[in-house]
Structures are given as structure tokens and as C-alpha cells.
């Protein structure tokens, strides 16, 4: 199995590795207004780098099909009501068929 590379984010000011969600460096407190690729120097907003560098493709992840959202389950009372209606319908069916004889 091939291990996929994840993008690494590094502060330009102090060189500390930071999380992708950080808006400022925890080491030197510098705020980030954009992201720069360490390989090709492409600079852009965070949204552009979600799949890797748009300039050179560094740390580009393979596209994975997203699973469809799970179907919502019915609450337990809905099943109870459905079973009750079926029992009532079957009871009426047998009761009415007994009257015809």
C-alpha cells in the first residue's frame, strides 16, 4: 500500500511547522495572509492548496470518491405505527372474511 503525502505547512518567518488550519504561527505569532509553496514558490489562498500546490502539484492527494451521505433512519415509533396499521388491516381482513361465510 502506498502512503499518500500530506501537505506540510511551514512559517516563512521562523520555519516552524504549523497546522493547515492555523491563521498565525504559534512560535513567532506572525499572521498568514497567503500560503507559499516551498517547491515552486506559488503563492495563493488556503482554498487553492486543499489538494496540493496548484502550481507544481506538490503533495497532491489522489482523488477519492466521496461516499454518499447515509440514508436517514426512521425513528422507532414510525416502525411501531407501521406494524400496528398492518396488524389492524390484517385483523379487519380476517374479520370481514369470516362474516361472509
Task: For 39-70, write each residue's pLDDT tens digit.
Answer: 787 888 777 777 778 888 777 655 556 777 77
pLDDT at residue 81, as a whole number: 96
Rounded percentage of the chain residues whose pLDDT exceeds 70: 81
The 3-state secondary structure of 16-83, one letter per residue: CEECCCCCECCCCCCECCCEECCCCCCEECHHHHCCCCCCCCCCCCCCCCCCCCCCCCCCHHHHHHHH
Q: How far apart are CA 70 and CA 98, in angstroms?
A: 45
CA–CA separation, 64 and 55 (whole Å)? 21
Q: What is the mean pLDDT of residues 70-96?
A: 90
This prediction's pTM: 0.35
Amino acid at each position: 500500500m502506498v502512503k499518500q503525502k500530506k501537505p506540510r505547512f511551514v512559517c516563512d518567518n521562523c520555519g516552524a511547522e504549523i497546522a493547515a488550519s492555523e491563521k498565525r504561527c504559534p512560535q513567532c505569532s506572525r499572521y498568514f495572509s497567503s500560503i507559499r509553496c516551498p517547491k515552486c514558490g506559488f503563492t495563493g489562498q488556503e482554498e487553492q492548496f486543499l489538494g496540493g500546490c496548484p502550481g507544481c502539484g506538490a503533495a497532491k492527494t489522489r482523488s477519492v470518491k466521496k461516499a454518499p451521505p447515509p440514508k436517514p433512519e426512521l425513528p422507532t415509533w414510525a416502525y411501531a405505527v407501521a406494524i400496528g396499521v398492518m396488524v389492524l388491516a390484517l385483523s379487519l381482513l380476517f374479520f370481514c372474511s369470516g362474516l361472509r361465510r
